Amino acid sequence: MTERNTALLERLFALAANGTTVRTEILAGVTTFLTMAYIIFVNPSILAQAGMDFGAVFVATCLAAAAGSLIMGLYANYPVALAPGMGLNAYFAFTVVPQFGGDWRLALGCVFVSGIAFLALSLSPLREWLVNAIPRSLKYGIGAGIGFFLALIGLQNAGIVAAHPVTLVTLGNLGAHGALLAMAGFIALVALYFRRVPGAIMLTILGVTAAAVLLGLQPLTGVVDTPPSLAPTLFEMNIRGALEMGFVTIIFVFLLIDLLDTTGTLVSVGQRAGMVDQDGKLPRLRKAMVADSAATAIGAALGTSTTTSYIESTAGIETGGRTGLMAVTVGVLFLASLFLAPLAGMVPVYATAPALFFVACLMARSLADMTWDDVTEAAPAMVTALAIPLTYSIASGIGLGIIAYAGIKLASGRWRDLNWAIALIAAAFAAKLALQ
């Protein structure tokens, strides 16, 4: 790299001031990309089940991840990469789209509006107010519940659990090739992750796909080609329909999960990177939130569910990443991934099942941080965590959890623990559920 280019990067990212180098940042970016590149296979697979064009969603996923990561790196100078979020894509495909009678354009409209609302919040003091209004225990419950939701979807995709007319769910056919490959893939994935192998999730998806091809279960269609057309999803969001009052709850859930996820990720990454100041605050936090919210709106316009900050960015932090150059590197690699569409198209749903189940295991860790000694905190959190997968709806699970929290606090004489915001949200959810 020439002296001139190095000087430009130094000016853009303040490498020396952050105690890092161009080489370190690029290596950190490659490491982060390997840990989150599974999304280019998983996201199209999930949204295709909602009736969306697989190829277009693949392109939208790569472009949304690239745009979000580049904005985060160049505008906020944060070592945080973005991509369509796990959990929110499942909520989009298996709850929102069916609720809209299969109209994924209307669901994209809700994502776009939530992104604009998030952008407005990011530019105002209301951001911190809303984050602080949600009790910590419910945040833990929401995170674990979304994980359990992903686990259920993964088990369904693998054929390990199946529908039953009496018990609702039952054991599937474990002798089926897809179930066997998914179970073997999960064991391999956990072993690879334990051994700290970079890109363990992506390697598992590719390994199960390769096994399916070798066994004749999946046709070999190629690896590299020109990107598919984005036309089937580009600017297809129905914004006018999303602004109707009946969809306010859905937009709020998209907004709330994105806000909580982004805040948690930025705080976690900032702490690991040593970015937190002596008052416990993160520098340029507003810019980082603006970058995340803008990525959500851009992703919806392209044709994918909510784009958000990835906790996998911590892998790059551990490698030494400290600036936005790490995020820019990730963005460039997502652009290069556009040419892997044939490979993505070969991946069967049971090949992504181990990834879904493993991400669920990681998300369930949030329950360990809960205050189990206070039953008025633990019980509503568990209502949330269990209701999300059992109602097959993130929105319904959050609503029931918030209602339980408010009701339990009032009945226990702990009404001082309630703030007016959570009481208002509980009342709104109760009214909505009562009118269904």
Residues 336 and 343: their CA atoms lie apart, in Å, by: 13
* Dihedral of alpha carbons 385, 387, 391, 397, sign: negative
How far lies 90's CA from each of 136, 227, 371, in Å? 23, 24, 28
Residues above pLDDT 90, as percent of the chain: 57
Mean pLDDT within 110-125: 92
Pairwise pLDDT comparison (79 vs 429), residue with the higher score:
79
How far lies 343's CA from each of 97, 275, 323, in Å? 27, 38, 32
Is the pLDDT at 142 greater than 90? The verdict is no
Mean pLDDT within 370-384: 93
- Predicted local distance difference test score (pLDDT) of residue 435: 64
Is the pLDDT at 1 greater than 80? The verdict is no
Q: In terms of Cα–Cα distance, which of 87, 52, 13, 41 is closest to 385?
A: 87
Do 297 and 112 form a contact (C-beta atoms < 8 A)? yes
- Predicted local distance difference test score (pLDDT) of residue 236: 97
DSSP H or E run through 364: none
Q: In terms of Cα–Cα distance, which of 14, 26, 24 is closest to 330?
A: 26
Is the pLDDT at 231 greater than 90? The verdict is yes
When the pLDDT of each residue in the chain is averaged and rounded to a whole number, the result is 90
Q: Residue count of the chain, please give it.
A: 436
Residue with tokens 């941080």: 369
- Predicted local distance difference test score (pLDDT) of residue 207: 94
Is the pLDDT at 267 greater than 80? The verdict is no
- For 16-20, which contacts have Cβ atoms below 8 Å and span 24 or more sequence positions? 18/322, 18/323, 19/322, 20/320, 20/321, 20/322, 20/323
Q: Confidence band (pLDDT; 50, 70, 90) for 245?
A: low
How far lies 431's CA from each of 135, 390, 398, in Å? 21, 21, 14
Is the pLDDT at 416 greater than 80? The verdict is yes
Mean pLDDT within 110-139: 84
pTM equals: 0.85
